[in-house]
Each structure stands twice: as C-alpha cells, then as structure tokens.
Amino acid sequence: MLVFPGDVVKDVKSVKGVTVLGPGVAPDGSTVRVTRAGRLHAKPPNTYWVEHDQKRYVPKRGDLVVGIVVKKSGDLLKIDIGGSEPASLSMLAFEGATKKQKPDLQVGDLVYGRLLNAHKEMEPELVCVDSYFKAGKLGPLSNEGFLVTVSLGLVWRLLEAENPILEAVGKAAPFEIAVGMNGRVWVNGRSVKDVLNVVRCLEVAERHDDRTVLDFCKQLK
C-alpha cells in the first residue's frame, strides 16, 4: 500500500501494549503517522515500516558497512560511512591487534565493519571484530578491489537471502563482494573484466527487476 507523509496508519495492532515501528512511521499522540512516501509494510503481529528507495544513509546499530578511512589520529581512525558525520574506529578493534601491533591502514583505505553504536545524538562507532574478538568477514578490504555506490533499495534487495542476482553473476565468473548497508559495495575478481561485469550487473539491477538482471547475466561471457 502506498502511503505519504501525514497519513494515519489504520488498525495498528499491538502485543501486550507493544507496537514495533520501523523507519518511516512515527507515533503522534495516540495515532501512528507515516513520515515518508513509500510502500507500507506490516509484519504480523505488531511490526510496521515504510520502504522507500533512499540514497542517503542514516547509521543504524548493528549494520554492516563499507567505510573509507578519512583521518588517522593516534589509536583512532575516522571512517566516512556516508552518514551525516564520520564514524570512529579504534585501531585495537581488529582481530589480534595490540598496542604494539596495529593494522596497517592509510587514509583512503577501505574497511568492512559493524556499527557498534549509532545514536542520533552521538558519533557512530565502528568495530571490526564480533563479541568473541574474532574478525569473521570484517576487517580491512584489499586495495585490489573496486568500490561502487548504489541506492539503499538495491542493497536491501542484494542482501535478501533468496535473491538470485549475486548467484547468477557468480556463474559467469567467480568474484568477492562486500555489500555495505550504507550503499557502498566493494567488488574484487580475478581480472578487471570480471570486476566490471559485476559492476555492470549492479548498474542494471539499479533500474530493472530481478528477471531482467538474470537475462543480462546470461549474456555475460
């Protein structure tokens, strides 16, 4: 259902007096109002949100993002994650990092990290380890790769578990990808041609539905 700012969400259900409101809906007194134009989604029993294909990223706690190092000062890095202010990342928040042995990161390098904290009144905080101090897939991204910026709507599509786009692209040539919730996508492959094929697929996916992208992938050699 398409909704617009100011619309009242009808028949809001709650469980034990609790209703979960996601992006695009906000409480207004005893009613719930829509705050952006888009499609209203409801997940039973009590969750509501509005989906809109945005370009600007607003940091959310727990999001996996691709960031660019913009400043180095002592043990702290400032990382541009596309939000309204740069996030801070401690040099010690990498797997196996100590005061003496820190990761080798320069201004302009890319990192894949998780947002530990993203309160709107405070500077966002990134980490490159999980709660067991293991890196997993997080950490610095190789300089070999290629960075592209896509809309947030495409990121959500790519990250859906059953989405066929990335699998279809992988059939043409193997590649490595890091999709950030902030709309930044890092791609690496065996050759420049493989990388560019992935980038072209992402450009097609930006404007067309999944089926068109799959047809496009079949044409890739």
Partner 1 sequence: MSKLKSSCKLGILSRPDGSVLFSQDETTVVAGVYGPVESKANKALVEKACVEAHFRPKSGLPGVKDRLNESIIRNVCEAAIATAMYPRTSVVVVIQEMQNNGQLISCALNAACLALLDSGIDMKCMFAAVTCFIHKDESLVFTPPINEDQVKAMFMFVFDSVEKSIIASHTDGSFSVEQYKDALSLCKEECANMFDFFKKSLTIK
Asked if 67 touches partner 1 (CB under 8 A), the answer is no
CA 211 to chain centre: 23
Asked if 35 touches partner 1 (CB under 8 A), the answer is yes
| Residue 150 phi, psi (nearest 5) | -125, 170
CB atoms closer than 10 angstroms to residue 125:
20
Q: Contacts with partner 1 in 73-112 (CB under 8 A)?
A: 84-85
Asked if 26 touches partner 1 (CB under 8 A), the answer is yes
Closest CA to 146 of 106, 105, 103, 110: 110
At its nearest, how many Å lie between partner 1 and the CB of residue 124? 12
> Contact with partner 1 (CB under 8 A): which of 121, 161, 209, 211?
121
| Residue 38 phi, psi (nearest 5) | 165, -160
> Toward partner 1, which CB reaches closer, 75 or 85?
85
190 CB-near residues (< 8 Å, 6+ apart): 173, 174, 175
> Stretches 50-58, 68-76, 110-118, 168-176: which one binds partner 1 (CB under 8 A)?
50-58
Site of interaction with partner 1 (CB under 8 A): 2, 4-6, 24, 26, 33, 35-38, 52-56, 58, 84-85, 120-121
